[in-house]
Amino acid sequence: MKPPPEVPDSHQSGSVMIARIIGILCVAGGFVLGIQGLEQSDSWMLPTALGLLVAGLFAQVFALARSWYLYSQRNPSVNK
């Protein structure tokens, strides 16, 4: 009896899930702070919002790259 084929579960990796959650929270927080910062001129909120948006995008790119790397490691036929 053959074992069932291995199903790639790269989306369930811990580092990928953490990076995606952090990315979503940072982007959402950046938008909220950015909206609040637009209402108050010369506040600290706009630079902080921009930093959160950039951090969230970096986290999402890391999650995408890590997911692709884990998928390619689990499926060697993809690398051919």
CB 52 within 8 Å of CB 35: no
Paired tokens of 52: 């959160």
Q: Where are the domains of the chain?
A: 13-72
Determine the Cα–Cα distance for residues 37 and 62; give it in Å rounded to an integer: 28
For 12-44, how does the pLDDT look when each residue is reduced to its tens digit (9 = 90+)?
Answer: 578 899 999 999 999 999 999 999 999 988 889
For 57-72, how does the pLDDT look when each residue is reduced to its tens digit (9 = 90+)?
Answer: 999 999 999 999 988 8
